[in-house]
A and B are shown apart, each in its own frame.
Chain A
């Protein structure tokens, strides 16, 4: 292996200015993904994220084939998937079977579109594994715009969505419009996935939408600290991944997924050590009591 292809930081400053808007897009997605992830975890929807991303991939591949805007195609695919899952999958079991049915269909459709597409193969692969650097300026603006919308909607829905995620029955009894809320959350998730597909690729969306939140939940259960940590983890993964990747010739996604995974591992370790300490303390307390 030729290490300089992995890390080569000559001309780094120039490269940095070239990819500045990509970094901004990734930073915002990292934050939004981390935030959405907290609800994805609470609502047990990691599988739905993966399902939506495959249909988002199909949409993007379709757009590539007909020469339309790829981000728009990705959005259409995402939103259709999110709406189907949201309308038909109110119960967890129904939801999982619908996602299980949609996912291979979406992936298959996407592969078909790519096979028909006569253009460069780099574009094809990018949809599955990420291509933020090759996204043009106009589309970057679209990605950033969508992320900001998601962020705003989430902040406004925060309290009722938390209530509904914890206990839908009681939330409904207390005046939370639970059905509408679930559906809106699915659409928000669809938007986030569509953006993530562009940055990190359909296959790796979970690294930004689930891993940061899962890591944060390992080290805290505070309603303030968990989302903040999750957003920081998402931001560090996304931006750190790009910063490392532009110093070499490897794609960005493996850097993002590796950083994200490393953060998760560290959080698990912290959790495990804390758990051991608590158990020790409980044991000694029991000894005293005995």
Chain B
């Protein structure tokens, strides 16, 4: 079977400093891979490279067996939750409509086919109850559900998620993570999920790509989230603590895993 995502020998750096090099990753259809790593480890840059917005220094990236390009419709993209300002002249469902036809030039007419497709997408994320309300009046969790629906428009092969749970409360984190998980199980959509905190998706992910210091490690959570593995990756003593089904990485030099750092970054 063709991998949904293939990364081969990929290298990228800025000003002589390598973010990562010789990066190898194959994500099968329906597979859920989390990308972990501290600030500046190149997680977001990796997403940009997969989206075709950032050229690699070396190597190649393919989606569904073909090279990626900017604006690739085979990729769905779920960004970090940021509140849409009240007074934005869009209703909830219009956000989803943009996912369907927002890239098209021409007369802004919503056809019946598009409307039906949007109805289905909205229903698939359980947002039918509030899809007709003003977007700016919806809660962060509700907006994020609609963003998932937007990303699913066009039935993508690969779903790229950039911290989609950040600044959501626990209940909504759960809801969004379950939506993404259900999608990959029912539609074989591969998921690449960048996050600073693995715990909300720990029970869902198949494998982890851990980026640190220009190096990386790929494996199941049990293979990667271990004291000796991460200490070797960081070249410095790092402790992985497990408690009540949750995992904590302590002492990582780039201060990864800390919520505070990521929030000040965004």
Contact = CB atoms under 8 A, between A and B. Distances in A.
B89 A42 contact: yes
Contacts of B123: none
B15 interface: no
Main secondary structure of the interface of B (DSSP, over half): loop
Interface string B138-166: 00000000010011000000001000000
A217 interface: yes
Contacts of B71: 172-177
Interface of chain A, main secondary structure:
helix
Interface in A145-183: 155-160, 162-163, 166-167, 169-177
Contact of A221 (B87, B95, B101): B87
Contact of B77 (A162, A173, A220): A173
B221 interface: no
A210 to B, nearest CB: 13
A111 B147 CA distance: 50
B239 to A, nearest CB: 35
Contact of B90 (A41, A160, A169, A221): A221
B19 interface: no
A159 B99 CA distance: 10
Contacts of B53: 172-173
A286 interface: no
A38 interface: yes
B58 interface: no
Interface string A172-214: 1111110000000000000000000000000000000000000
Interface in A216-241: 216-218, 220-223, 226-227
A176 B160 CA distance: 17
B82 to A, nearest CB: 8
B171 interface: no
A176 B102 contact: yes
Contact of B89 (A38, A156, A167, A172): A38
Contacts of A173: 51, 53, 71, 75, 77, 160
Interface in B85-102: 87-91, 94-95, 98-99, 101-102
- Residue with the highest number of chain B CB atoms closer than 10 Å, among A38, A167, A171, A220: A167
Given A162-B102, A220-B89, A170 B79 contact: yes
Interface residues of A, number: 31
Given A173-B75, A174-B71, A174-B77, A163 B134 contact: no
Nearest to A163: B102
Contacts of A221: 87-91, 134-137
Interface stretch (B21-29, B104-112, B201-209): B104-112
Interface of A: 38, 41-42, 155-160, 162-163, 166-167, 169-177, 216-218, 220-223, 226-227
Interface of B: 51, 53, 70-73, 75, 77, 79, 84, 87-91, 94-95, 98-99, 101-108, 134-137, 147, 150-151, 160
Top 4 A-B residue pairs of the complex, sorted by shortest distance between their CB atoms: A175-B71, A163-B102, A221-B134, A226-B89
25 contacts: A42-B89, A159-B105, A160-B104, A162-B98, A163-B98, A166-B84, A166-B88, A166-B95, A171-B102, A172-B51, A173-B51, A173-B77, A173-B160, A174-B71, A174-B102, A175-B73, A175-B103, A176-B71, A176-B102, A216-B89, A217-B89, A221-B89, A221-B135, A221-B136, A221-B137
Given A166-B90, A173-B160, 19 more contacts: A159-B102, A159-B103, A160-B102, A160-B105, A162-B90, A163-B98, A163-B103, A166-B88, A169-B79, A172-B71, A174-B71, A174-B73, A175-B73, A217-B87, A221-B87, A221-B134, A221-B136, A221-B137, A223-B91
